[in-house]
Amino acid sequence: MISEQEYSVKLAEVRSYLVERVTVLPELGVILGSGLGAFADLVEEKVMIAYKDIPHFPTSTVEGHAGQLVFGKVQGRSVVVMQGRFHYYEGYTMQEVTFPIRVMQVLGVTGLIVTNAAGGINSAFQAGNLVLIKDHLNLMGDNPLRGANLANLGPRFPDLSEGYNLEWRQKAIEIAKELGINPQEGVYVAVSGPNYETPAEIRYLRTIGADMVGMSTVPEVIAANHGGMRVLGISCVTNMAAGILPQKLNHAEVMETAERVGKQFVSFVQALVRAL
């Protein structure tokens, strides 16, 4: 774990690197999950900066993720889009996974839209559904806020009783209806992965109140809340979780579903950027 001071110095260095290259500083952050990469094409007056070129940034390894920050305008709003995220299962520390959120914070971002691919646990869901995250369970066994608290970034014991902003969720439901998307809501549970869960684990996760399961999002959402951001989270149910249907799970199915609903997902996020 890196020291408090080291982390602050790194953040300040990244901030000045980005401020020199970006014309308008972002107000809203967007994290693109699997299949949503095309959202980046909508960004106007684009400045793209590869993670590998940003000082102190981890680099992305997962298939289907480009690994860059895209700055610019969507629907007149100044945004920073993360095309590709860092997963805990890749071996990054929680501080590394959430480093981009801290970078957003020091650039002045006050709101975050976070998306992901997830396995459906609630049997009312189907592969291809877009589900608004109303709350989460952190079962990753780690926390990005562990260690010395960076008091200039947020409080030691942050409140998470509205980790996913209620007003934004209500607006998102209205927007979904306008777009003909059946608006669902659910509790997202984050596990560390990288294996998909066992059927017994899925029965357990359902019992403790989870509607969908995934391997991301929760660290970023914890850091964003700590940093005082409003958060909206959306899961694309790419598959039903293990043991729910009499079939095996594979990454190809996850990517295919994400691809299939990609267009609808992109329009939804575009409309959200305008409205939130």
Which residues are catalytic, by number?
A: 34, 65, 87, 89-90, 117, 215-216, 239, 251
Residues 6+ apart with CB under 8 A from 92: 58, 86
Indicate whether 254 belongs to the interface with ligand HPA (CB under 6 A). Answer: yes
Element holding 162 (H helix, E strand): none
CB of 192 to ligand HPA, least distance (A): 10
Region class of 155: left (phi > 0), else alpha (psi between -120 and 50), else beta? beta
* Amino acid identity for residue 39 in this structure: F
* Amino acid identity for residue 75 in this structure: Q
* Pick 30 or 213: Cβ nearer ligand HPA: 213
Eight-class DSSP state of 155: -
CB of 100 to ligand HPA, least distance (A): 20
- Asked whether 220 and 112 are in contact (CB, 8 A), the reply is yes
Residue among 72, 71, 85 nearest 32 (CA): 85
- Asked whether 132 and 232 are in contact (CB, 8 A), the reply is yes
Q: Within its chain, how far is the Cα of 15 from the centroid?
A: 21
What sign for the dihedral angle of Cα 173, 274, 43, 32? negative
Indicate whether 244 belongs to the interface with ligand HPA (CB under 6 A). Answer: no
With CB under 6 A as the contact rule, the residue among 58, 154, 214, 227 that binds ligand HPA is 214
Total residues at interface with ligand HPA (CB under 6 A): 13
Interface map 85-124 toward ligand HPA (x if CB under 6 A): --------------------------------xxx-----
* Pick 26 or 35: Cβ nearer ligand HPA: 35
Indicate whether 187 belongs to the interface with ligand HPA (CB under 6 A). Answer: no
* Pick 96 or 197: Cβ nearer ligand HPA: 197
* Amino acid identity for residue 104 in this structure: M
Residue among 239, 28, 227 nearest 117 (CA): 239
With CB under 6 A as the contact rule, the residue among 129, 135, 239, 261 that binds ligand HPA is 239
CB of 64 to ligand HPA, least distance (A): 12
CB of 70 to ligand HPA, least distance (A): 23
CB of 189 to ligand HPA, least distance (A): 9
Binding residues (CB under 6 A) for ligand HPA: these are 117-119, 196-197, 213-215, 238-239, 241, 249, 254
